[in-house]
Every structure is written in C-alpha cells, then in structure tokens.
Chain A
C-alpha cells in the first residue's frame, strides 16, 4: 500500500521548475483534492492553522494508525484519522474459506482479546447450522472469555498510564496478563491467538494444570487488582490529566453507536450480556457498573470495576460448571441451509458482532464483522478538538481502540 504523498517529487529533475515552485507544491501536495464535503472542510486551513501528520509509526497510536492533526498553535482544531495500514481483507478471506476455517481468520482481528472475536462468528454459525452447544462448553467459554477480558483490561490500565507518561503500571499489568495468558495457553495451546472456540463447543476440555493455576491465581487476584489500581487511582498526575477530558454525553454516545465500557461510562447501562443474553450469562450473577461523568477518568475507572465483576463470574463458573461433553456432534464439513444470522457478544471493548449469510454451500456467502474499535475511533475527531496534542493521546487511549480490529 503506497501513499501518493510519499513519493520522490517528480519535478525535482526538471530544470525549468524553480526550487520555490517545488517547495510551494510540496506543501500543497500533502493536501488531497477534496472529494467530499468533510474532506473539503478539514483541508481548508484558517488563519494560523497548520496540518501535522502523526503516525503511522507513532508509539501511542496503539498500532498502525495515521492521524492528520489540524492545529492552531498546540491546540487541536480537528482530526482526520487515516486507516488501512493493517487492512488484510478478513471478510473476503472468510468468504473463500470453509465455515470452520473462517474462525481462525477472525482471531488476529483483536490480538488483545481474541477469544471474543471467535465467539461472535462461532455463535452466528451455530445459529445458521442449528447446532446445540453442550452446557459445559458454554461454561468453559464464559470462563475463558472473562479471563481474557481481565487480561485485556489489565493491559488497558498499563497502556493508559503509558500514554500519560507513566512507565511503571504497564510493567505491573504485564505480570498479571502474562499469568492469565499462560493459563489460557495451558488449555488452548497458544498464547495470543487462541483459536479455541469451535462450531458446537470448544477445542478440548479444561486441563488439571489450568484448574490448579487458576485456583492459585484466584486467591490473590482480588488483592493484585487492588494493588495495581492503588498505584493509579489516587495518582494525582493521572487523575488531573484524565478528569473532565473528552466528555462524552448520553445522547452523543447513542448517536455515535458507541458500545461497551465507553457507553457505560456515559451513564447508559447497555451490556449485551444483559441486554440480549447469550450463552449461560442469564444463570450468572453480576452487576453492570456504570458511571455518569463520561470523561477519560470514568472510562478508566469503569474498566477497573469490570475486572471485579469478571472475577465474580469466574468464581461462579468454577462452582457451577457441569460435567459432560465439550463438543457437539458437528461434521467436519458443514453446509448450513440457506439463511442469514447475526450474533453479538460483549467484549472488553464493546460489542463484537458477526453477520453471516449462507447459500447452502460449505463456504460463507458473506461474512460481516462488526468491531467496536472501528466505531469508537470515530469519537477521536469528536472529543479531541480544543485540547492539547498530548491530551489527544490520553483521550484516544481512554477509548481503548485496537488497530487490528479497526482495520480488519
């Protein structure tokens, strides 16, 4: 993928063009020909405004994201995110794989919480093929999913502090995250892209090693969470830089189709686990934490509250898990009858959805993947204007986008 603006300038060899022309043209060159109303508005510079390119290799953009900033001094006037540096065409690849193979393409979408990216397509395919999942498999899915949610939120805590200039929390959070990833690796066989859920169940029962490590970890997990959040929650630098930043109100959150912790931090208790229950969540007790402020600090604190609820869910799963098979009888090659299905799960960043269409063959006819990070990244150009460049990063970090999911 090449950018038109990064080529050597064609007129550098042409002696009839003066250096002033080249310089003037180079500045104009970075401004594309406006094709839409929004683009025309963004690339029309007012008095004293300038454009600054940030990324795609900027460390605080959490992946490969390029952002064009329109600045007035050090204040951000407007932002135009440029996507596509990680685009792999996952939807097209899935349409060219069979139903089972398509699941493994969805893992790398969200490399921080990849179990949720598998969960949505697996549920959609099960609906299409009318597969009944064994209850033990459902409990294992919830157990591993919540573990992955904690791992993701722990990493968020580190990232958020890192973008605000604190280096210690990410080292602390990686200790916990590594332990969780090792536990998941003990049953899934992989440490990052698990590829564990299957159409009709999960790939293998939970092992003795996993159970003993989880038991050990659960006894000290609550204390660890307290210790880690104690490092940050009362940190004056963090609180002062996050409070009142990037305030997202209720009406805007609905209008922007926001989901997950970001909408709950704005006071709307929308959680797919309760709003449209799936798996065995109706049998489990947990609260949906909400906050009214809608600022960066609320989004951070809400995720820390969710870790505690996830620990509650894991505890209940361990006590209620029934015996039995972990996999339904599903043939190696399935041909679901023609139809359409949509399934959504609540991930650590918001709602992951999959819309699948079957035409009766062994391959998906169309597979649409809905990723929350993609929707949430739109908020950046809404929440950041008026702030300093450094705070832009803090607001972006509090929305917790992962570029693998944004670019698909």
Chain B
C-alpha cells in the first residue's frame, strides 16, 4: 500500500471524492462523480507528481442500483495500481464522459462497455456495438439480464429508449424509401 499516494490524492482532490480513499493490497481506489470525471483523470494524467500516463483497463459495472465506469491506471510515481471509479451513473440512461481524447486506445473498451451495459460515452466518436450484432436490443452484462435464456424472460430484455430513435437495422435504405413513399 502506498500511503504517500493516499495523502497526495486526498490533498489534491479532497472535496471532489465521493467517500474516502480505499487501499487494499497493492491497489488504491478513489470515487468521483461523472461530472468530475474528466477533470480528475486529466489532472491524474498531466500533473508531474501523479503522472498516471498509462491506462491499464476500462470496465463498466452494474451494481444493480446504478452504473459505474472503472479505470485502472499505472504510474511510475507509485507502487500501486490506481482505480478510479466513476460512480452514480443513472441505470436507465447511463452517460459518462469519454477518455478517448487522452487515450485513443480506450475507444474499443468504451464500445465494449456500451455493448454490454448500454453506457453511452460522450465524446467517443464510435459508440456502436462491438461484439453483438447491430440488431441486438439488450445489454447482456446488466444485472437484470439473466442466464440461460437469451433475454427472452429477463426483465432486461427488449428495446431501450436510446435505441428506439434509431432506424430499424433490418430495413435496407431502399425499403425505407419505399416505406416513406407509401406514406
């Protein structure tokens, strides 16, 4: 555990943190809200006494009550992995700022989080499904999606509001046109 990192984080981000800095084994965890996420990560990346320039992982989490986006960062200034939890995203329409402006490599990880949880990343220019077919309408890693049924009996099945606005994927442009002409 890196005690020095803990005091540095508390001093720098004090009032912004949701809850205390948690340390266990070789990990340090801080929690911020979605509104503070960009500023916090930018400060962690840029400031020379922190300099977390290395993105190890980006993961979505559904706690059952709310959504989270979890970043794991590495820096040569600390012996610990730093975990940044962006907490308190609305489960019905989760939105989180993108980090692709810092790490372009996060683009696919964010696409995966969208595919699995429906978290929309603002600023990512390619938020579309990555593994599942484009016509798929559920987000399988959400806690209301139960195995083994393919969402057919899950409360999490069906079309979600953010997908309703998009045109049906099985319609070709020409059939869309015909449909429009037919009135």
Residues of A at the B interface (CB closer than 8 Å) are 1-4, 10-11, 21, 25, 28-29, 32-33, 35-39, 83-84, 87, 89, 91-93, 95-96, 127, 254-258, 270, 275-276, 339-342, 344, 351, 353, 355, 357, 366, 368, 370, 374-375, 377-378, 407-408
Q: How far is the CA of A194 from the CA of B103 in the complex (A)?
A: 34
Residues in A with CB closer than 8 Å to B76 are 275
Q: Are A91 and B141 in contact (CB-based, < 8 A)?
A: yes
Q: Are A25 and B140 in contact (CB-based, < 8 A)?
A: no
Closest to A41 in B: B125
Give the distance to chain B from A325, nearest Cβ to Cβ, in Å. Answer: 22
Contact with A along B64-79 (1 / 0, CB 8 A): 0000001010101001
Contact with A along B152-183 (1 / 0, CB 8 A): 00000000000000110110111100000000
Point out the residue from B53, B104, B131, B145 that lies within 8 Å of A87, measured CB to CB. Answer: B131
Residues in B with CB closer than 8 Å to A35 are 128, 134, 166
Whether a CB of chain A sits under 8 angstroms from the CB of B34 is no
- A28-B174, A33-B173, A370-B57 are known contacts. Are A255 and B103 too (CB-CB below 8 A)? yes
Whether a CB of chain A sits under 8 angstroms from the CB of B107 is yes
Residues in A with CB closer than 8 Å to B112 are 374
Point out the residue from A39, A275, A353 that lies within 8 Å of B126, measured CB to CB. Answer: A39
Q: Are A84 and B131 in contact (CB-based, < 8 A)?
A: yes
Residues in A with CB closer than 8 Å to B169 are 4, 32-33
Closest to B175 in A: A10
Residues of B at the A interface (CB closer than 8 Å) are 24-27, 29, 53-57, 59, 61-62, 70, 72, 74, 76, 79, 81, 83, 102-109, 112, 116, 125-128, 130-135, 140-141, 145, 147, 166-167, 169-170, 172-175
Closest to B83 in A: A342
Q: Are A408 and B105 in contact (CB-based, < 8 A)?
A: no
Closest to B168 in A: A33
Residues in B with CB closer than 8 Å to A340 are 27, 29, 83
Residues in A with CB closer than 8 Å to B56 are 257, 342, 344, 351, 353, 370
- A254-B54, A270-B54 are known contacts. Are A25 and B174 too (CB-CB below 8 A)? yes
Q: How far is the CA of A377 from the CA of B172 in the complex (A)?
A: 30
Q: Are B172 and A25 in contact (CB-based, < 8 A)?
A: yes
Q: Are A276 and B81 in contact (CB-based, < 8 A)?
A: yes
New A-B pairs, 12, CB < 8 Å, besides A10-B172, A256-B103? A4-B135, A25-B172, A35-B134, A84-B131, A84-B133, A255-B104, A257-B55, A339-B24, A340-B27, A355-B59, A357-B61, A375-B105
Closest to B126 in A: A38
Give the distance to chain A from B163, nearest Cβ to Cβ, in Å. Answer: 10
Point out the residue from A275, A355, A366, A378 that lies within 8 Å of B108, measured CB to CB. Answer: A378
Closest to B78 in A: A276
Residues in B with CB closer than 8 Å to A96 are 147
Q: Are A368 and B133 in contact (CB-based, < 8 A)?
A: no
Give the distance to chain B from A204, nearest Cβ to Cβ, in Å. Answer: 27
| Pairs of residues from A and B, 4 with the lowest C-beta to C-beta distance, nearest first | A257-B105, A38-B126, A256-B105, A368-B59
Give the distance to chain A from B130, nearest Cβ to Cβ, in Å. Answer: 6
- A1-B133, A37-B125, A127-B25 are known contacts. Are A342 and B74 too (CB-CB below 8 A)? no
Q: How far is the CA of A399 from the CA of B108 in the complex (A)?
A: 17
A-B contact pairs, 14 of them (CB 8 A): A4-B169, A25-B173, A28-B174, A29-B173, A83-B131, A84-B132, A91-B141, A95-B141, A341-B24, A342-B72, A366-B61, A368-B59, A368-B70, A378-B107
Q: How far is the CA of A43 from the CA of B132 in the complex (A)?
A: 20
Q: How far is the CA of A95 from the CA of B63 in the complex (A)?
A: 13
Residues in B with CB closer than 8 Å to A276 are 26, 74, 79, 81
Residues in B with CB closer than 8 Å to A91 are 116, 141
Residues in B with CB closer than 8 Å to A258 are 105
Closest to A374 in B: B108
Q: How far is the CA of A220 from the CA of B108 in the complex (A)?
A: 43
Q: Are A342 and B172 in contact (CB-based, < 8 A)?
A: no
Q: How far is the CA of A87 from the CA of B130 in the complex (A)?
A: 10
- A4-B134, A340-B29 are known contacts. Are A256 and B104 too (CB-CB below 8 A)? yes
Residues in A with CB closer than 8 Å to B25 are 127, 341
